[in-house]
Amino acid sequence: PMDQVEQHGDPSAALAGVLLLFALPALLLSSVGPCVIRLSARSRVGTTAGAVYALGTVGSIGGVLLTAFVLLPDLGTRATLQGLAGLTLVLGTIGLLPRRAAMLGLVAAALPLVPERERPKGTVWAAESIYHVVQVVAAGSMRGLVLDQERSLHTALDLKGGRARGY
């Protein structure tokens, strides 16, 4: 409804932000397959291309299943994100020169040292669920359930009147 658009702002700004954030990485990742095919193909380019894309598909399916059913439930979102970012950095250094590999190795080693983010003012309780950082925040007689970001209030409860307001 229109009242939600007024409350949350124009979605085109969010779309522009997502495009700015993900366009270059998506473009670079989409060029990996053709580059690998070109470097791997000796005589049978079609067979090599099929094998590269089949391996990529199996890896994608396995990665989604591993992340959803093993990594997130066992490690949580923060450790999963840090671990996979570190793995990406380590695998990315394999093809680089040794000087660059040492520098990126230091960055990968520093990932566990990334500080915890600041909690919003009035945080009563915070923990990590399988898929979200869950926080309970207080503002006067109101208590709110915040998922992931300070601005993403999921549910609010008025302790005086007992009335709940959902998203």
Whose structure tokens read 């680089």? 96
Which positions ≥6 away from 146 have C-beta within 8 Å?
120, 134, 135, 136, 137, 152, 153, 154
What pLDDT does residue 138 have? 85
Sign of CA dihedral 38, 42, 43, 46: negative
Under-70 pLDDT residues of the chain: 1-10, 92-117, 120, 150-151, 162-167
> CA angle 23-24-26, nearest 5°?
65
What pLDDT score was predicted for residue 156? 80
Q: Rounded CA gap, 155 and 152, in Å?
A: 9
Cα separation of the two ends of the chain: 13
Given this model, what pLDDT does residue 76 score?
80
